[in-house]
Structure 1
Amino acid sequence: MVSSSAMARTYGDKPSTSSMEEDLEIEVSMRNASIIDHQYQSEQHKDHKVLNAFNPTDKTSYSDMIHIDVPDTRTLVERSDGVTKYTAYNIHINGWYHGSVRFSHLYEFAELIKQKFSQRYKGPEFPAKKLFKLDPKAIDERRQKIAKYFQAMVQHPEIARHYLIEKKLLGFQIDSFRATSQYVSLDIYLGNGEKTTIKCLVSDSTMEIMRILAEKLGFHNKDEFIYHFGLFMGKGRDPTVACYSVTPDNFNPLLTRFLRNFESPFVSLSTANQKYNENGHYNFLCIRKLIWDTRIEESILDDGVFVDMIYRQAVQDYKNGNLAPIKDDLEYKMKQCMQRNDKIMFLRNCHLLPTYSYEILSPCSCDYPKPGTPCEIKFGRRQVVLTTQDEFGNPKTSLFRATRIRVWRITQIMEKISFQFEYLMAKDTFEWITLDTDQAILMSLLLQSIGSEILYEHNNMTIEQQVMKEKQSKGNYVEKTSKLPRDPKKPIIVLKNAVEETDPLGVMEHYHNYNRMLTTISDGIPQRNQAFTDITNDDL
């Protein structure tokens, strides 16, 4: 499966240009930190609701992200007789349709939670069984209760990250898909748009697909492959141009999802193309590197398989113009390397480019430097880069370094989802930056991946050691508000330890006010970034 707090560094006052035994239960300690103080909230932002509020005590801990909602229901027919009808509840995870599940299966799931975690789960009870048939109003009331139950459940990371929960969520998706064949072929595109096809089961999870792919590509250390690369869903960048096939000539993916282990890539892709395809604009699966610092990349250039994978993506980024601008002399050297097929030297020349190793996302709107500012955005090189225009139409680039982002979150503003991060502008001065985008969850996952790399380097851990830490799960919080929580004229200061230890969530009493909640868990990405606590006056 696959959330969110971190930190960053700039100059001056402004941003610079597994298998486990069934009875194993992960023990997790939680405390609340870096959330808006309730008193401050009530005085300054009466419409500002904290829906989710937990952060880890251990700043080297990891968590996985998942946002769950049950927005509606559907009527399905029994497979056994093809006649009997029943109501299924549509589960959406991370903003995408996951599966339609009947009440009895969800009830069994809740009973499993009760058996395994009765002393830990605190939240609304799962709706009880009824002996009579429900009318539409009662069905909708049950749907709302199911949604609140799920949303409370995933706020307990020691529950949400248990392998049994991951397995059940995967099972819901597989059963809902109703596949006609157990064995399938799956096309996955490498960094240069070259297609590789693997044989797999419909029920294979993301981690299983990554292991199959690593073996086919010749990786001896499958774990290193899994933690240096990610399986993404993508589509063409021009929404007005139909994309029925992917070739190296047109391969310039706009990432839409980062696939996690609670889902089957085959089913997720098939479902996405059934439900979310517009005008022939199909989604496809692709492998992208999760290496955000050239020093990390330099350290694995002695492995020819890694070099080949990274080289493919680098060359394609160059051809797509994503590395521009490049000085003439350096570009000449890069072309010579391509002609000689000198992959290592080509990559080392790329390392000299400040534009190398970024994922370019969709243009969006931000409130920096002022509300409603159109901007282009990319994540990479351990920073977030926003490109806006000044009053004369000239491009202006703002860099927000990952080690100086104290916390980030996903907020719901009416029906709009936004990505926000709290940035250290100067000593003791924090400001929230809001991005209005449909890629909020993806942004959170990318930023977590950057934080994971920083933490890996900071702790000097081996891959195996880091994987063990990644099994310790935490969560983050999400907010819902009817207006932007940021006063553009005044930075918002987040006060620590605002919620009592006796109520880790601190918001359960307000459940009846919520229409929906979004929560987060993830697979192998840190909640907090140790680097933030190491900032000194010299960094400012």
Structure 2
Amino acid sequence: MHFSIPETEVRSGENGSTYVAYNIHVNGVLHCRVRYSQLLGLHEQIKKEYGGNVVPSFPPKKIFTLTLAEVEQRRELLEKYMQAVRQDPLLGASELFNSFLRRAQQETQQIPTTEVALDISLSNGQKVTVDILSSDQTEDVLDVVASKLDLPEDLVAYFSLFLVREGEDGGLTFVRKLQEFELPYVSISSLHNSDYHILLRKSYWDMVYDGDVMDNRVGLNLLYAQTVSDIERGWVLVNKDQHRQLNSLQEKGSKKEFIHLGQTLKYYGYIKFEPCATDFPEKGCQVIVGAGNNELNFHVKLPNEQMKEGSFKVTRMRCWRVTSSQVPTANGSNNPCASTKSDVKLELAFEYLMSKDRLRWVTITSQQAIMMSICLQSMVDELMVKKSGGSIKKMSRKRHNGSARHPDSQQSVKSPPLLDSPDQGREQIIKLSTKLNSVSLRGIGASSDIGGGGDFHGNFAFEGIGDDDL
């Protein structure tokens, strides 16, 4: 997850006094506003629970009112603190930390705890309405949805809830996967936009796990609906003959056979992103990115209008990062204190092993950069779980015993060479500060080959290979 505190606000208190609020953004979106005293209270609780030697350093109290420069310095230190806590395997997964974020989200949006009805979309366009509390966390809502659908408990971990945006053409844009520190009802309500929905979708990548899901009637129906939907929106590459076979199986109601045929098709199980920009193989290229099969797939339009296709395997990404920059837009006013709006620019950059001893940074500029990086991290998580002998079913048992989050995970097949020609068949608030933020994914091994601030973390699944293996 990508935590940042890109801005602070001066807000009015109940007695007419003012205070500084620190806006905590998660995955590039405002999650909550908190005061310094609230974060200090969290820090003291964590230190008491886990010991002072585990907890990262926290910015000290100040006796006198802070200057603007001191507020900015505290903001930077609090941002580093939140990132350090979240990236710590023990602290970041703790109920203490996650419950703090849930409470803060609810308080920020001023949504009281009450019984509510929440619509959950399925891949076939149908909706399931569940009765929950507005304060129910993501896993609780997922359990209620599973129960409403009659999905067995041991299959719940194979699915996740995603925040998606529906376009005018009916297409879906994946915004993010809802996390354990979120309240889904509060998250969707705070958007005040009917284009956003919560979608139930499988949360693994390796098609081997399809067999577990298809053994159950409800799981089969969910996976079939998703496969049909992905094919209809053009995410899966289908030629005319395959299309006839799929239509025939659909008419017969042969759902398993339909999925088995789908598994043989190119880009089965991928998530496709909106057109964006990349600097590979050269600056100024337009690209459509897909995530699946332990890789990022590129369909690149070069400046000379030529189309190329290639894939970047996650096991050859040494490290990656996401950066967000907030650039105020012109408001036609010369008053620096006037209200301004900001455009957010998001970039995903990864360091890739192009050949033996040759690494190169590749950058994608996209508003879905964070979702792309979440996909990469979930692929790495699944690879590491499998490497250690684990499985989704084992993680599911841990989850229901209250001890762990479930993994996300696609079976490795040989990628097309990098950029070959593709197939042709288919209150009063005063903003005090904004800044460039760099937030890193978990991993090992620092990189020093690229300029600019921010921490760089490596990839647990990175595999050094020679030219003969490329």
TM superposition score category, shorter chain reference: 0.7 to 0.9
Match of 2:196 in 1: 283
Of residues 181, 185, 195 in structure 2, which corresponds to 1:266?
185
Deviations 1:9-38 (A, max 9, x none): xxxxxxxxxxxxxxxxxxxxxxxxxxxxxx
Match of 1:166? Answer: 98
Q: Which runs of 5 or more structure 2 residues have no equivalent in the other structure?
A: 328-344, 407-434, 439-443
Change (3 A) 1:307 1:179: same
TM-score (norm 1): 0.68
Deviation at 1:286, TM superposition (A): 0.8
Over residues 433-463 of structure 1, what are the superposed CA-to-partner deviations in whole Å (9 max), with x where a residue is unaligned?
Answer: 1111222221111112222333344444243
Deviation (angstroms), 1:357: 1.5
Residue from 40, 45, 48 that aligns with 1:107: 40
Q: Which residue identity is paired with 1:387?
A: H
CA distance in 2, matches of 1:109, 1:395: 52
Q: Report the counterpart of residue 374 of structure 2 in structure 1.
A: 445
Q: Secondary structure at the match of 1:420?
A: strand
- Distance in 2 of aligned mates of 1:136 and 1:536: 53
**What is the 5 A alignment of 1:504-515?**
none
Structure 2 counterpart of 1:69: 5
Which residues in structure 2 correspond to 1:187-336 (within 5 Å)?
187-222=119-154, 224-226=155-157, 228-237=158-167, 241=168, 251-271=170-190, 273-274=191-192, 282-324=195-237, 326-336=238-248
**3-state DSSP class of the match of 2:267?**
coil
- 1:102: Cα distance to partner? 3.2
Count residues with an aligned counterpart: 412
Report the secondary structure of 1:160's partner residue. coil
**Matched AA of 2:31:** H
C-alpha distance in structure 2 between counterparts of 1:498 and 1:134, whole Å:
36
Return the offset for 1:391: 5.9
Change in Cα spacing, 1:307 to 1:112, as seen in structure 2 (3 Å) is: same
Read off the aligned partner of 2:265 and give its amino acid letter. L
CA distance in 2, matches of 1:166, 1:107: 15
Q: Are the counterparts in 2 of residues 67 and 518 from structure 1 also a CA contact under 8 Å?
A: no
Residue 205 of structure 1 aligns to which amino acid in structure 2?
Q
Separation in structure 2 between the aligned mates of residue 519 and residue 497 of structure 1, nearest angstrom: 6
Matches within 5 A, 1:511-526: none
Q: Classify the secondary structure of the residue corresponding to 1:121.
A: coil
The secondary structure found in structure 1 opposite 2:322 is strand
> In structure 1, what residue type is equivalent to 2:78?
I
CA apart distance, 1:392: 5.2
| Contact 2:3–2:79 (Cα < 8 Å) also in 1 | no
Pair 352,360 (structure 1): closer, same or farther in 2 beyond 3 Å: same
1:57 corresponds to: none
Give secondary structure in 1 for the equivalent of 2:90: helix
Quote the offset at 1:536 in angstroms.
Answer: 6.7
Query: How far 1:423 moved relative to its partner?
Result: 1.9
Q: How far did 1:220 drift?
A: 1.4
Report the Cα offset of residue 351 of structure 1.
1.3
- Provide the C-alpha distance between the structure 1 equivalents of 2:164 and 2:183, rounded to a whole number of angstroms: 16
CA distance in 2, matches of 1:210, 1:163: 18
Q: Distance in 1 between matches of 2:124 and 2:10?
A: 41
Which region of structure 1 is more displaced relative to structure 2, 450-459 or 200-209?
A: 450-459
Distance in structure 2 (CA, Å) of the matches to 1:371 and 1:390: 9
Output the CA distance in 1 between the equivalents of 2:81 and 2:207. 43
1:120 match: 54
Report if aligned partners of 1:384, 1:401 keep a CA contact under 8 Å in 2: yes
Specify which of 350, 364, 374 is matched with residue 435 of structure 1.
Answer: 364
- Pick from 107, 131, 137 the counterpart of residue 175 of structure 1: 107
2:333 aligns to what? none
CA gap of 1:152–1:344, structure 2 versus 1, over 3 A, is: closer
* Structure 1 counterpart of 2:266, one-letter code: P
Letter in 2 for 1:96: V
How far does residue 128 in structure 1 lie from its aligned partner after superposition?
1.1
Q: How does 1:324-473 map to 2 (within 5 A)?
A: 324=237, 326-390=238-302, 393-411=305-323, 416-466=345-395, 471=404
The 3-state SS of whatever aligns with 2:315 is: coil
Give the letter for the 1:254 counterpart. T
C-alpha separation between the residues in 1 aligned to 2:67 and 2:247? 68
- State the SS of the aligned residue for 1:529: coil
Task: Tell me if 1:539 matches 2:469.
Answer: yes
Contact 2:91-2:97 within 8 A present in 1 as well: yes
Cα offset for 1:429? 2.3
Structure 1 residues 344 and 188: alpha-carbon distance in aligned structure 2, compared to 1, 3 A threshold: same
Quick one: structure 1 residues 209 and 113, their matched pair in 2 at CA, closer, same or farther if it must change by over 3 Å? same
Structure 2 residue aligned with 1:14: none
On the 8 A contact 2:287/2:300 being kept in 1, the answer is yes
TM-score (norm 2): 0.77
Mean Cα displacement is larger for which, 434-443 or 422-431? 422-431
- Cα separation, 2, equivalents of 1:97 and 1:496: 30
Question: What do residues 319-373 of structure 1 show as CA deviations (whole Å, max 9, x unaligned)?
Answer: 223324x222221111111112211111111112113211111211111101221
For residues 216 and 472 of structure 1, the distance between their equivalents in structure 2, rounded to whole angstroms, comes to 22
In structure 2, the residue corresponding to 1:112 is in which secondary structure? helix
Counterpart CA distance in 2 for 1:236 and 1:518 is 34
Q: Which residue of 2 aligns with 1:40?
A: none
Corresponding position of 1:5: none
| CA shift for structure 1 position 538 | 5.2
Contact 2:165-2:195 within 8 A present in 1 as well: yes
| Identical-residue share of aligned pairs (%) | 28
CA distance in 2, matches of 1:459, 1:166: 26
